[in-house]
Amino acid sequence: MTDKEYLNSLRIPTKDNPLRILMSACLSGITCGWDGTANGEYPSALKVLQYDTVKVFKFCPEEFSFGSPREMCDIHGGTGFDVLDGKAKLLTESGHDWTEGILEASAQMLKIAQQENIELALLMDISAACGSQVIYNGNRFSDNKVYQIGAGVASALLIRNGYKVISQRDYASLEILYSKIDPSYPIDPTKLDHHEIDWYKKYFKLR
Ligand code: SF4
């Protein structure tokens, strides 16, 4: 099922039975980023916090295992799925191997998703933990910074366990989400998901 098909299948939530969303803590404004700042500048994500028919569970996998602030880390040798399969590693910019820690944090995020019966994960894209569409390929501080299509480690574990993960840049999917939360919300048909924008298609040579 595509993201949009899944979002269209979501129920209309109520105050008594709110929609249960797992969210990257930094997207909600919590200062758990690697440099001790938040990523709370995305209205597309912040909007979910405004509704009393949504219950949001905030979690930062990297902070769980490594604290904040911390070194920047990226996946080397593959995507988050490859880290889960033991084929790639999570390394810090100075070369420390944080693979074991991110696997523990991802397991904790999955545990929250299962315990809280979440219906959707809204996570920060590009992150080596939370990314769902695009992540860095190797160290983002190198002169030759490279992106790859793929999920971060925590997202990959959620996806592998059947959860739907969208990012704050999946604007078309978010439009559907907000129309479910508020049936009077008018969907903007011009909005696109991250994999539909020109940058994505050009960068990954998909056209
Ligand atoms: S690990 Fe996820 S929640 Fe934590 S700062 Fe990075 S993107 Fe945000």
Question: Per the structure block, which two tokens stand in for 25?
Answer: 């803590």
Q: What pLDDT shows up at residue 140?
A: 87
pTM of the predicted protein model: 0.97
Residue 132's pLDDT is: 97
What pLDDT is recorded for position 41? 92
Low-confidence ranges of the chain (pLDDT < 50): none
Residue written as tokens 């969907």? 187
Out of 21, 26, 72, 98, mutate this one to test ligand 1's pocket (max ligand atoms within 8 Å of CB): namely 26
Q: Which pLDDT score, from 0 to 100, does residue 100 have?
A: 98
Per DSSP, which regions of 30-152 are E strands? 54-59, 73-76, 89-92, 120-123, 134-136, 147-149
CA of residue 61 to ligand 1 center, whole Å = 6
Q: What is the C-alpha separation between 204 and 73, in angstroms, rounded? A: 23
Residues forming beta bridges with residue 56, ordered by sequence position: 21
Return phi, psi of residue 166, to 5°.
-120, 165
| pLDDT for position 153 | 98
How far away, in angstroms, is 59 Cα from ligand 1 center? 8
Query: Residue 170: what pLDDT?
Result: 97
- Count how many Cα atoms sit within 13 Å of the Cα of residue 6 in the half-sphere of its side chain: 13
* CB atoms inside a 10 Å sphere around CB 162: 7
Q: Whose CA is nearest to atom 8 of ligand 1?
A: 26
| Probe residue for ligand 1, chosen from 23, 57, 62, 122 as the CB with the greatest number of ligand atoms within 8 Å | 62
Report whether 80 contacts 110 (CB < 8 A): no
* Structure confidence at residue 28 (pLDDT): 97
- What integer pLDDT is reported at residue 141 of this predicted model? 79
Q: 3-state DSSP call for residue 52?
A: coil
Q: What does the domain layout of the chain look like in residue ranges?
A: 3-203
